[in-house]
Amino acid sequence: MANLQNFLQERQNLINNFLEKALKPKLLNKTAIAPERLWQAMSYSCLNGGKRLRGILCLATYEAFKPNYLAVLPIAAGLECIHAMSLVHDDLPCMDNDILRRGKPTCHIQFDTATALLAGDGLLIEGLALCLQADELNPQIMLKIMPEIMQAIGANGMTGGQSIDLENTNKNVSLLELENMHKLKTGAFLKASVLVSAMAAEATESQLKALEIYAEKIGLAFQIIDDLLDLEGDSAQIGKTAGKDLAQNKATYPKFLGLEQSKEKAQNLIEEAKLNLKQNHIYFEPLHQIADYIIQRKK
Ligand code: GRG
């Protein structure tokens, strides 16, 4: 794991530096036309830590096939910008209504609701524009990658998942319905972070399929751990309000399966994800280690 810590830290730094360079000049040199307050809210919500898991998965997947992983750094950073947007909107009073994110007041608490809404809009568009800066990649491949990202966050992906989550509030849903909601809300974007990078690296059809299964399994495990951290972690440790699922009477894995079985399910998914890579001759160690990290993480 020591190696993994270095690997994660290095990639986090790359992504953070890229995002700083993309967003800060518009804030500091006043090259932006939009109000300073909007750019402040965008920087506040994007340059504020975060594990950068989706960006790191994007970089690592590319590196599994080709050494020059900096070719997909703009996409990795763009994905993190889009992810930051989803968190800003998720925290809004009309959505999950949260006051703490990444250990700091949420965007609408620090600024105001209208600014947070617009900051999310701004981050979404900046994120897509950053992805398009991956000019080392074949333009024909970019034409396949961009719709893949958009589908993953659209009404048949993250946006749809969020909508189902809202509809499910105070409803009795089945485990299958819960799983389908998470597949869209969290899973689709996480999967895209892996798949678009594999497409960029010109992975074969069978490699793409293997990575799709890997991403689906780690995505589900990620969500189960998220539920467990909400239940067992504390707010200072996880950087967001702990115990919200219980307070909001949300359907969660521990609610269906209990603590132990939830942990077991997450562990099994991770083992299956890693085995699937091996069976398809994808041995790049960081992808295996990131899978382990997903269930060992404490925040
Ligand atoms: C993207 C067009 C578009 C719309 C967004 C609001 C919304 C629609 C979706 C919300 C989706 C959401 C918040 C899913 C939760 C995903 C999740 C578990 C986030 C936490 O991810 P971590 O732990 O967070 O990777 P850090 O802070 O480390 O980045």
What are the structural domains of the chain?
A: 2-296 (1.10.600.10)
Q: Contact at 8 Å (CB) between 95 and 166?
A: yes
Rounded Cα distance between 201 and 133, Å, is: 16
Residue nearest to atom 16 of ligand 1 (CA): 186
Tokens at residue 38, please?
Answer: 């909007």
For residue 71 and ligand 1, the question of a CB distance below 6 A is answered with no
First to last CA, the chain: 16
Tell me, yes or no, if the pTM score tops 0.85. Answer: yes
Side chain identity at residue 128, one-letter code: L
From the alpha carbon of 162, which atom of ligand 1 is closest? Answer: 9
Say what the pLDDT of residue 1 is.
59
Longest dimension (CA), the chain: 53
Q: Which class for 114: exposed (0-12), middle (13-18), buried (19 or more C-beta within 10 A)? A: exposed
Q: Contact at 8 Å (CB) between 148 and 195?
A: yes
Rounded Cα distance between 56 and 210, Å, is: 18
From the alpha carbon of 92, which atom of ligand 1 is closest? Answer: 6
| H helical segments located in 134-174 | 139-153, 158-168
Ligand 1 centroid to 189 CA: how many Å?
9
From the alpha carbon of 95, which atom of ligand 1 is closest? Answer: 6
Mutate to test the pocket of ligand 1, among 86, 89, 164, 165 (most ligand atoms within 8 A of CB): 86
- CB-side neighbour CA atoms (13 Å) of 260: 0
Ligand 1 centroid to 83 CA: how many Å?
6
For residue 102 and ligand 1, the question of a CB distance below 6 A is answered with yes
Ligand 1 centroid to 217 CA: how many Å?
17
Rounded Cα distance between 124 and 253, Å, is: 30
- CB-side neighbour CA atoms (13 Å) of 55: 35
Mutate to test the pocket of ligand 1, among 8, 11, 87 (most ligand atoms within 8 A of CB): 87
pLDDT tens over the chain, length 299 residues = 568 999 999 999 999 999 999 988 776 666 667 788 999 999 999 998 999 999 999 999 999 999 999 999 999 999 999 999 999 999 999 999 999 999 999 999 999 999 999 999 999 999 999 999 999 999 999 999 999 999 999 999 999 999 999 999 888 999 999 999 999 999 999 999 999 999 999 999 999 999 999 999 999 999 999 999 999 988 988 999 999 888 888 899 999 999 999 999 999 999 999 999 999 999 999 999 999 999 999 89
